[in-house]
A = this chain, B = another copy of it.
Amino acid sequence: MPTQQPAGLATHAFAQLRDAIIGGELAPGEPLYEIHLASQLGMSRTPIREALKLLAQDGYVELLPTRGYTVPKRSHDDIREFFELRAILEAGASRHAALRATDAEIAQLEKLSERYEREKNDEKWNQLGHEFHSLIIAAARNSRLATMLNSLNTQIVISRRSVARAADAGRRATAIRDHRAILDAIKARDDVRAEKLAGEHVWRSYETTLKSYSPDLFVSKKIR
């Protein structure tokens, strides 16, 4: 039996709405009305309200003055901010992970990495990549950092959904090479290199995302 600790309608509404937004069933720009959602989810306005307030604080929805909630549209500047932040945090996490990961964690990373390199199915491949990052984050031993990064990563997923991008072969090879390099740095306990590589890795994924988001506006920049 899974963890059945808090329950609560508000929690349920939160998860339900968040997944709907991530899944793309609620498109950006779409208005969200408490009353409507309440009847739709079979509960009163109160728990819906709480869920929306929480979602708003995480950036999943936006509250217009007194006119209601909407799923926000992401501007190019928003995308940039997301990835900058993620690059900073992921780099920091990798640095700490290089110094703090247990041998068992490193072995697990190695295993994950091998499966990652072999996996053909796009969906599963993405999932494995996500697990790899999560494990590094866990090894960094900073719960607040972990919470932020996880929230940020799911939000970035939203941005990607909105452009229906493809995982072409080139991107795949690059990602695999990046992951391998980061793992090697962690195994060598080289925190400085792990930090640098993780930052560059995120930056590269930013470039591909941006490219598919709006090809004509894309300009290549030097990685630092």
Instruction: State the main secondary structure of chain A at its contact with B.
Output: helix
Q: Are B54 and A88 in contact (CB under 8 A)?
A: no
- Name A's B-contacting residues (CB within 8 A): 5-6, 49-50, 53-54, 57-59, 65, 81-82, 84-85, 87-89, 91-92, 96, 142-145, 148, 191-192, 224
Q: Are A81 and B143 in contact (CB under 8 A)?
A: yes
Contact with A85, one of B49, B144, B224 (Cβ below 8 angstroms): B144
A145 to chain B: which residues have CB within 8 Å? 81, 84-85, 88
A89 to chain B: which residues have CB within 8 Å? 88-89
A92 to chain B: which residues have CB within 8 Å? 84-85, 87-88, 92
A148 to chain B: which residues have CB within 8 Å? 85, 148
Q: Are B224 and A81 in contact (CB under 8 A)?
A: no
Could you list 24 examples of A-B contacts with CB < 8 Å? Answer: A5-B65, A6-B65, A49-B50, A50-B50, A50-B53, A53-B53, A57-B58, A59-B144, A81-B142, A81-B143, A81-B144, A81-B145, A84-B92, A84-B96, A84-B145, A85-B92, A85-B145, A85-B148, A88-B88, A88-B89, A88-B91, A89-B89, A92-B92, A192-B224
A59 to chain B: which residues have CB within 8 Å? 144
A192 to chain B: which residues have CB within 8 Å? 224
Chain B residue with the shortest CB-CB distance to A49:
B50
Q: Are A84 and B142 in contact (CB under 8 A)?
A: yes
Minimum distance in angstroms from A98 CB to a CB of chain B: 11
